[in-house]
Amino acid sequence: MRMTAGTDLHEQIRQLVAAALAEDHADADATTQAVVPSSAVARATILARETGVLSGCEFAEMAFVLCDPSLELSWLAHNGSKVEPGQTVMTCSGSATAILAAERVVLNFLQQLSGVATLTAQAVARAGSVKVLDTRKTVPGLRDAQKAAVVHGGGVNQRRDLSDELLLKENHFALSGLSYEATVEKAVAKAQGKVVGIEAETLDQADLALAAGASYVLLDNFRGEELRTAIRFLHGKYPNAELEASGGFTVAQLPVLEGTGVDRVSMGSLTHSVSSLDLSLLLEAE
């Protein structure tokens, strides 16, 4: 995970988890307070219910710790680990009321982030030699966590935020008041060493962008022979050009990119349309 300026990673995770626990009123668990003795001790086991890739362990651990720092935790799998149905991911022993207070927040983080890692791993497996990148289409407040999950799944992080690099899209060209080529040239001149990416909707635009000094070109909604033709032309004219495919590719469609010559593919679905990995927390009295 990338750290927010002025905040160390541990504190950033603590703040996110504390907010989630507060949202769930973990300190006012009416059901548990009604029927579970405050002195009760239990052992929790988190199990995988389906095949996937684990992510979010530090968030789950923080939730347990914030509810009761004396809980004893043991991880049997870690971020980036492949898990199978029935596999024990971790165990936790101690105050039953604290475990119950943390349960939902623990699972929410683990399931969502493991879902991101799992989908990314599936995409990477089907993309072959083409690098799989995420986007900024993340859950608000969870960007760094989701981008870390992409890495756990074998993917690559695209720019984190608007300050990371320049990425010119159709709205920038519409508002610049300049020609397409002049807009790229202006961006390159003002980039101060930052990467300058260009979204191109036609081969002519991609050609103009690379001629004007773009660091890479994002070939938006190019498909089939159109994509192959564009890549052959651009790599022939600009051998070192970084070419990226984008525009709603699904995991099932990724094998068609192998052999096209495209360097990478960006997929917003890795973070904005993910299904949570099925995990369960089971409790037994001690």
3-state secondary structure the chain: CCCCCCCCHHHHHHHHHHHHHHHCCHHHCHHHHHHCCCCCEEEEEEEECCCEECCCHHHHHHHHHHHCCCCEEEECCCCCCEECCCCEEEEEEEEHHHHHHHHHHHHHHHHHHHHHHHHHHHHHHHHCCCEEECCCCCCCCCHHHHHHHHHHCCCECCCCCCCCCEEECHHHHHHCCCCHHHHHHHHHHCCCCCCEEEEECCHHHHHHHHHCCCCEEEEECCCHHHHHHHHHHHHHHCCCCEEEEECCCCHHHHHHHCCCCCCEEECCHHHHCCCCCCEEEEEEEC
User: Average pLDDT by consecutive 10-residue portion of the chain (286 residues)?
Assistant: 63 96 97 96 98 98 98 98 98 98 98 98 97 96 96 97 95 96 97 96 97 96 94 96 94 94 96 96 95
Two structure tokens written together for 160: 């984190």
Amino acid at 62: M
Predicted local confidence at residue 9, as pLDDT: 85
99, β-bridge pairs: none
Q: Which amino acid is at 121?
A: A
- Give how far Cα 286 sits from Cα of 11, 95, 103, 115, 146, Å: 32, 10, 17, 32, 35
* 192 and 209 Cβ atoms separated by less than 8 Å: no
Topology of the domain comprising 9-123+274-285: Aldehyde Oxidoreductase; domain 3 (3.90.1170)
What's residue 5's pLDDT?
47
**Cβ–Cβ contacts within 10 Å for residue 253, how many?**
14
Nearby residues of 209 by Cβ (< 8 Å), 6 or more positions away: 180, 181, 184, 198, 200, 217
CB-based contacts of 23, cutoff 8 Å, min separation 6: none
- Are 53 and 152 in contact, with CB atoms under 8 Å apart? yes
Do 281 and 44 form a contact (C-beta atoms < 8 A)? yes
Residue 6 has a pLDDT of 47
Separation between Cα atoms, residue 216 and residue 204, nearest integer Å: 15
d(CA 69, CA 61): 10
CATH 3.90.1170.20 occupies which residues in the chain?
9-123+274-285
Residues recognised as catalytic? 104, 137, 169, 199, 220
Q: Give the count of beta carbons closer than 10 Å to the beta carbon of residue 239.
A: 7
Domain spanning 127-272, CATH architecture: Alpha-Beta Barrel (3.20)
Q: Where in the chain is the domain with CATH 3.20.20.70?
A: 127-272
Cβ–Cβ < 8 Å for 227, 260: yes
